Structure 1
Amino acid sequence: MNAEDARKAGLPGKRQPGEPRPSSKQIPTVQQSRENFAAKRGLRRLVQGEMPPTAPMSIVDRLAGSPYANPMIQVGGVDNSVRKTIDFTLLLAETMFRFGAGALEVETSMIAVTAALGLRNIEVDITNQSVSINHAPKNATPITLLRVVRSWTNNYAGLTEVHQLVIDIVGGGVGREEAQQRLNEILRKPKPYARWMVTLGSGVFAAFVVAVIGGGLIGALVSMASTLLVGLLSRTLARWRVPDFFVTAMGAFLVTAIALAFVRFEIPIQPGAVVTGGILLLLPSGRLVSAVQDAINGFPVTAAGRFLSVFLTFGAIVSGIAVASALGGLLLVSSKSVTEAPQSVPPPLYLALLFVLLATILIGVVEQTSPRLLLPTAVIGVLGYSVLILVGHFGVGPRLAPAVAAAIVGVLARLLAIRMGAPQLVLAVPSILFLLTGLSIFRAMFTLTIATDSALDGVVGLFNALVVIMGVAAGVVLGDNLARPLSKLGKLGKLSVGLDSRRNRRR
C-alpha cells in the first residue's frame, strides 16, 4: 500500500518530500466534540428540570425575598438546649401576632430565628390563633410545641422592636439569652402614647375625614364629639368584659343616633359624612387587608378566621345603624337622609392633602406607631392619596384607581421599612386608610338592610365596596413584591446584613 492509499484509508503514511506538514488547526475533531457536548448539555437542561419534581423544598428557602434571607449561623453550632430555643421562638411569634403582624411575617421570623440559632429539622405551622414548631431530628425523639394567641392589641411600636430583634438575631450579633432578655423588656415596655392621646387622636381624625369628603365645619365638630363619646363608651364596655360585637354595635348606634338627632333639630349638617367619620375607625379595614394578604400569601386557614371576624364586625356596625335609624324614624327623621351625599364644597387640594397628612399621623398614634415612623407613614399616605386623585383624572375607574394607589403605597412602604428597620405592615396599613372609602361601604350596608325597596342597589354597592377593598389589599401585596428587587440594589440600613449575598447559607 502506497502513501496515497494509506491517506485515503485514514492510516498514517510516510510524508513525501515537499508535502506540507499537517497542522492541528486543520483537524477540528476535539472542537467538534466539545461543541456537541455543550449542545447536548444545553438541550438536556432545556427539556429536563434541575431537580426532581417531587423533591421537597427546604424550609429556609421560604426566606427568599424576605428581609431575613441568608441568616448568619451563630458560632458554636446547635444550641444544647433545644427546648429553650423553641420556647423563645414561640413566645416571639405569639408577640408578633398579638401586636398585629401578618402570617407571612410571623412565619419568616420563626424560620429565620431557628435557622440563626442553629436548629435543623424544623417545621413551622400557623393558624388563626396558634403557632406550633415541630423539631424532629434523625434518630432522636421529636419535640412538638404549640402556643395559642388569645388576645390582640394595637402596638406597632412593639412590633417594630420585635422586628429589629429578629434582624439582630439573623445578623449573628445577639444570642438566645440576650434575645430572651430583650423580648421580655419589649413585653414589659408601655405603649408610646397614653390612652387619652389615643382617644383624642381618634376624634380629631374623624373631624379631618369629614373635612376631606366635604362635610363642613359643623359636621367635622359633630363627628369629632361623637367619636370621643364612642371611645369612652368602648373603654367602659371593655372593662365590663362585653364582647367586641356588642361594643362595635353600640358605637355605630351612638354615632348614627347623634347624626339623626342633629338632623331632627334642623342643624345644617350632612349626616352621611358625620356617620362616615364616626364609623371609619370602627370598620375593620386593617383586619380585612391582612386577611386578603394572608390569602394571597398562602395562609387560607388564617385568612378564613380573619374574614369571619371582619364579617361579624360589619354585622355589628349594620346592627347599630339599623337600631338608630329605627329610632330616628320614631322621631320623624327620614332614614334615607343618612345616606345622602354631602353637599358642602370639598376643600382645595392643598388643604385636603394637609388634612390627609395630619389624619395619617393621628392614625399612627391610634395604632401606637413608633414616633420616628409617624412622619414617614404620613408622607406615604399623602403620596398614595395624590396618586388616587391623579389616576382618577386620567379616567381610571373608581375600582382600579385605589388598587393602583395601594401598589404605590406598598412599594414606598417596603423601601422605607427596610431603610428604617421596621415591618412593611407598620407603614402600609395606616397609609391606605383614605383609600378604603367608608362612605360607600356604609351606604351599601345601610341600603341592603334598611332601605328594602332598593336592596338590589345595596347588593351592587356592597360588591363594589368589597372589590375596592380587595383591590387595595392586593395592591399593597403587589407593591411589596415589586419593591423586593429594588431593596437588593444596595445596602439599605441595618437590614442590609440580611441581604448580603456573602452570608453563609443554611441548607
Structure 2
Amino acid sequence: MDAREVNLTLDFCLKVGELLLSSGAGAADVTATMRSLARHLGLRSADVDVTFVNLAMAFQENPETVPVLATRQVKLRTIDYEDLTRVDHLVRAVLRDDVDLKGARAELGRIISTGHGRKRWAVTAGLAVMAAGVAVQLGGGPPVVVLAALAATIIDRLQLVMSRRRVPVFYQQVAAAGVASLLAVCVSVPFDADVSTAITANIVVLLAGLGFMGALQDALTGFYITAGARITEVMLSTAGIIAGVSAGLALARAVGLHLPPIEPAAVDLRSVSRALVGAAIGAAAFAYASYGPRRSLLPIAVVAAAAEGITVVFPAEFGNTWAVAVAAFFVGLVSYSVSGRLRVPPLVVIVPAVVPLLPGLSIYRGLTLLGASGNAAATSGLLAMFTAASIAVALASGVILGEYVAQPLQREARRLESRLAGPRLVGPVVVRTPRVRRRRRARAAAESPHT
C-alpha cells in the first residue's frame, strides 16, 4: 500500500472516530470501530488510541519503514443520533465491501457537511414535551405540566445563546437550573401553587444531556483516563444544576415561600398509568430532540414505559436503587434486538429509554431537605443526594450488564478486540475475517470483464 492510500485510510478512520466520539459513543466502541475499518482497508497492524477528546492512529508496514502518525481532536460534543446512525450504516457498508474507500470518504463528507432535516425550533419543542412528560410521570397537574414545558423552552434557548458565546458548560447549567427555579418561584407567588414537580422535571431535562452512560462504559472497558475525564465533566455539570436549583430555593425561602420536597404518592391504577404514559412521552421526546430517527420513537416509548413499570411494581423492600438497576438491566437486555430491527445503534434506544429513570427527584428532594432546619432534615437530605448518585451508577451499570447478556462477542470479534472488556453500543459486532474478504475479492476479480 502506497503512502497516499495509507494517509487517506488513516484520515477516514479518524474522521469516523471523531464523529462517533462527539455523538456520544464510548471510547471502547470508537476504538474497536476504527480498528475494524483500518484492518478491513488493509492497515492490519494499525494502532489506535482514544483519550477523551484526542484520537490518534499509527501505522508501520514493517520495522524498516518510517511509521505514519495521524491525530484528530474532538472540538464539540453533542448528542446527535442522526449522524451516529448514518455513520454506523456507513461503517457496516464498508465492512461488507459495499463501498470502497473513495466512496466511503465521499459519503462521510456528506454526513459531516449536511445539516439536519429537523429544525432547531423543533428540538426546543421536543425538550418542552419531554419536560411535560416527566411532569406527568411525577403526578403534576395541567398547570404544572405547562409550567415545566415553558421552563424547558426558556432553558434551551438560554443555553443555546450561552453556548454560541462559548460560556463554559458549568455556568450554562447554573443559569438553566436557576431560571427553572426562579420561574417556578415567580409563578408560585401569585397562584399559590406547588411547583416542585416542574422544577424536578427540568432537573431531569438538564441531566439527560450528560454522559453518564459513556463515562461508566469507559470505566468498565478499561479506558480509565477517558472515564475519569468524563466523570469529572458529568460531576461538574451536575454540580452546576445543584447550584442553580439551590439558589432558586434559597430565594424562595428568602421571600417567605416554602417549596416542599416531593414525596412518593400512593400506588394505584391511576398513578401507575400516569407514570407509564409520562415516561413514554419523556423518552420519545428526548429521542426526537436528539435527532433520533422517527421510526425509533414509538419503540423507545414502549421500552421506557416498560422500564418505568418495573420500578413501579418492584418490591419496595429492596429500595429504589435496586428497582432502577433491574429496570436498566431490562433496557440493556432488549435494546440490542430492538435496535437491530430499527437499524440504529443500541445507544439510540438505550439513552432515551433510561431518561425517565434519572435521579431528578432524589436531587430535588435532597436540596429541599438540606435547606430545611434541623439535623434530621439535613441527614435525610444527604441520604437523598447519595441515593441520586447510586441511582446514576445503577442506571449505567444495569444497562451495560444487560448488553453483556444480550450481545456476547463472537470469537472472531473477540480476537480482534482482545483488549476491550465491554459490549458494543455502537458499531458492528461481527467483523469479516481476512480469509472471507480474500475469497470475495477473488470471486469479484474472476467475474470482472476486464480480467
Structure 2 length-normalised TM: 0.86
Q: Distance in 1 between matches of 2:430 and 2:154?
A: 46
In structure 2, the partner of 1:360 is 283
Alignment check: 8 A CA contact 2:46 2:58 kept: yes
Does residue 267 of structure 1 match 2:192? yes
In structure 2, the partner of 1:159 is 84
- SS of corresponding position for 1:402: helix
In structure 1, the partner of 2:346 is 424
Q: Deviations over 1:388-422 (max 9, x none)?
A: 223347x5431111111111111111122233332
Alignment check: 8 A CA contact 1:322 1:450 kept: no
Does residue 409 of structure 1 match 2:334? no
Structure 2 stretches of 5 or more lacking a match?
412-426, 439-451
Q: How does 1:447-462 map to 2 (within 5 A)?
A: 447-448=369-370, 453=375, 454-462=377-385
Q: Deviations over 1:458-506 (max 9, x none)?
A: 3322222111111111111111111124999xxxxxx999478897389
Does residue 436 of structure 1 match 2:358? yes
Q: Distance in 2 between matches of 1:405 and 1:319?
A: 29
Shift of 1:89: 0.6
From 50, 54, 70, the counterpart of 1:130 = 54
Cα 1:110–1:392 change in 2 (3 A) is same
Shift of 1:450: 7.4
Q: Distance in 2 between matches of 1:94 and 1:443?
A: 39
Alignment check: 8 A CA contact 1:360 1:381 kept: yes
Alignment check: 8 A CA contact 1:171 1:498 kept: no
Cα 1:484–1:108 change in 2 (3 A) is same
- Identify the range of structure 1 (260-269 vs 272-281) with the bigger mean alpha-carbon deviation: 260-269
In structure 2, the partner of 1:247 is 172
Alignment check: 8 A CA contact 1:403 1:468 kept: yes
In structure 1, the partner of 2:226 is 302
User: Rg larger in 1 or in 2?
Assistant: 1
Q: Distance in 1 between matches of 2:374 and 2:211?
A: 29
Cα 1:377–1:141 change in 2 (3 A) is same
Q: How does 1:103-142 map to 2 (within 5 A)?
A: 103-138=27-62, 139-142=64-67
Q: Distance in 1 between matches of 2:371 and 2:226?
A: 29
Shift of 1:129: 0.9
Q: Deviations over 1:437-463 (max 9, x none)?
A: 311123224545776844333332222
- SS of corresponding position for 2:211: helix
Shift of 1:171: 1.2
In structure 1, the partner of 2:414 is none
Q: Distance in 2 between matches of 1:483 and 1:244?
A: 35
In structure 1, the partner of 2:298 is 375
From 321, 328, 352, the counterpart of 1:399 = 321
Question: What's the RMSD between the two structures over aligned residues?
Answer: 2.7
Question: Match of 1:154, as an amino acid?
Answer: I
Q: Distance in 2 between matches of 1:244 and 1:178?
A: 37
Question: Match of 2:392, as an amino acid?
Answer: I
From 192, 205, 224, the counterpart of 2:149 = 224
Shift of 1:158: 0.7
Alignment check: 8 A CA contact 1:226 1:278 kept: yes
Q: Distance in 1 between matches of 2:389 and 2:220?
A: 16
Q: Deviations over 1:53-107 (max 9, x none)?
A: xxxxxxxxxxxxxxxxxxxxxxxx8896111100111111001111221112211
Q: Distance in 2 between matches of 1:109 and 1:160?
A: 14
Question: Match of 1:377, as an amino acid?
Answer: I
Q: How does 1:178-197 map to 2 (within 5 A)?
A: 178-197=103-122
Alignment check: 8 A CA contact 2:283 2:354 kept: no
Q: Distance in 2 between matches of 1:286 and 1:251?
A: 14
Alignment check: 8 A CA contact 1:411 1:483 kept: yes
Structure 1 length-normalised TM: 0.77
Q: Distance in 2 between matches of 1:78 and 1:350?
A: 63
Cα 1:124–1:391 change in 2 (3 A) is same
Cα 1:450–1:503 change in 2 (3 A) is farther
Aligned residues: 420
> Alignment identity in percent?
29
Q: Distance in 2 between matches of 1:127 and 1:502?
A: 29
- SS of corresponding position for 2:47: strand
Does residue 385 of structure 1 match 2:286? no
Cα 1:274–1:132 change in 2 (3 A) is same
Question: Match of 2:245, as an amino acid?
Answer: I
In structure 2, the partner of 1:18 is none
- SS of corresponding position for 2:160: helix
In structure 1, the partner of 2:26 is 102
Cα 1:208–1:124 change in 2 (3 A) is same
Cα 1:322–1:399 change in 2 (3 A) is closer
Q: Distance in 2 between matches of 1:363 and 1:326?
A: 30
Alignment check: 8 A CA contact 2:333 2:403 kept: yes
In structure 1, the partner of 2:436 is 504
- SS of corresponding position for 1:119: coil
Q: Distance in 2 between matches of 1:268 and 1:236?
A: 30
- Identify the range of structure 1 (324-333 vs 433-442) with the bigger mean alpha-carbon deviation: 324-333
Q: Deviations over 1:13-68 (max 9, x none)?
A: xxxxxxxxxxxxxxxxxxxxxxxxxxxxxxxxxxxxxxxxxxxxxxxxxxxxxxxx
Cα 1:284–1:202 change in 2 (3 A) is closer
Structure 1 stretches of 5 or more lacking a match?
1-76, 489-494
In structure 1, the partner of 2:162 is 237
Alignment check: 8 A CA contact 1:260 1:338 kept: no
- SS of corresponding position for 1:140: coil
Alignment check: 8 A CA contact 2:371 2:378 kept: yes
Q: How does 1:289-368 map to 2 (within 5 A)?
A: 289-334=213-258, 337-341=259-263, 347-368=270-291
